[in-house]
């Protein structure tokens, strides 16, 4: 069923990494050949997942894993500084990166553009791999043309390291590309608590919530004369991201340059 793409996963022992590993093991045209993490080093990744051994030991050295297993694609769900280093290493070795780690700066994206141009490869950087979230952003981009004001509320589990989320920032960027937001009410408005109105990103206010019990949720709220429109997406489990990750793996090897956002592969 199509080409057999060899894949190494960085952050394989993390919560998202484990879901990606499971997805790869069930895919017909993708082959997990390497698992990289600073945890569970030397353990079989199948045992880490709570199942039977699959003959792939967790390594803490991406370069060694690439040299040994010759993957075509690297998936990364780690932390920003580590993910950027992994991307540099992968591209220099002729491996296509698919990055789900959030917290990348525009300077990071610019560097990836330069590296991809130099190597002739492609890299996918996606703030969110859930199809529903991609559709929410697309619908928001359409709706913003018809409302004078919009704000974003993003809610995640309390272990998420960055705020606001990459999805919220990407959404705000997409909205700003359509219209310039009006400044809203200025006269007499008093902030009784610093930051209570959220962060201003390209004219769009973003509010971040971090609580146990949450997974990944976002509302885009539009306000107009006598009406409010709310678009909301909820990821109930990390499984929601796996189909998008696998789609990116399948398509990145046929692309060029940096693909910022999964919507650019749909």
Give the separation between CA 69 and CA 60, rounded to whole angstroms: 14
Of 86, 156, 170, 217, the active-site residue reads: 156
Nearest-5° angle of CA 190, CA 201, CA 124? 160
Nearest to 246 by CA among 50, 55, 54, 31: 31
Give the separation between CA 250 and CA 6, rounded to whole angstroms: 10
DSSP 120-142: T-EEEE-S---HHHHHHHHHHHH
Residue 103 near residue 162, CB atoms below 8 Å = yes
Nearest to 119 by CA among 88, 153, 156, 154: 88
Show contacts of 37-42: CB within 8 Å, 24+ apart.
Answer: 37/10, 37/11, 37/12, 37/13, 39/13, 39/14, 40/13
Give the separation between CA 193 and CA 191, rounded to whole angstroms: 5
Active site residue 156: yes
Of 6, 113, 157, 160, the active-site residue reads: 160
Residue 34 near residue 47, CB atoms below 8 Å = no
**Using CA of residue 210, residue 216, residue 222, residue 228, what is the dihedral sign?**
negative
Give the separation between CA 62 and CA 86, rounded to whole angstroms: 7
Reading the block at residue 46, the tokens are 């199948």
Residues catalogued as catalytic: 156, 160
């Amino acid at each position: 069923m199509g080409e057999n793409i060899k894949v190494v996963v960085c952050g394989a022992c993390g919560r998202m990494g484990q879901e990606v590993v499971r997805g790869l093991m069930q895919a017909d045209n993708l082959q997990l050949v390497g698992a990289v993490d600073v945890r569970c080093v030397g353990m079989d990744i199948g045992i880490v997942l709570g199942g039977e051994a699959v003959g792939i030991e967790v390594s803490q050295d991406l370069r060694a894993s690439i040299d040994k297993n010759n993957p075509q694609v690297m998936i990364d769900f780690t932390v920003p500084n580590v993910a950027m280093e992994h991307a540099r290493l992968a591209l220099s070795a002729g491996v296509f990166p698919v990055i789900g780690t959030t917290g990348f700066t525009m300077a990071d994206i610019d560097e990836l553009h330069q590296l991809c141009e130099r190597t002739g490869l492609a890299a996918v950087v996606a703030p969110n791999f859930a199809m529903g979230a991609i559709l929410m952003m697309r619908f928001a981009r359409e709706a913003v043309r018809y409302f004078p004001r919009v704000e974003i509320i993003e809610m995640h589990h309390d272990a998420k390291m960055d705020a606001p989320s990459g999805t919220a920032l990407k959404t705000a960027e997409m909205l700003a590309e359509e219209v310039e937001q009006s400044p809203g009410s200025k006269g007499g408005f008093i902030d009784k608590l610093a930051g209570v109105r959220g962060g201003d990103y390209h004219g769009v206010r973003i509010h971040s919530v971090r609580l146990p019990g949450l997974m990944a949720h976002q509302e885009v709220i539009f306000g107009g004369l006598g009406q409010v429109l709310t678009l909301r997406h909820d990821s109930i489990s990390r499984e929601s991201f796996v189909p998008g990750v696998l789609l990116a793996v399948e398509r990145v090897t046929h692309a060029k340059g940096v693909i910022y956002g999964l919507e650019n592969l749909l």
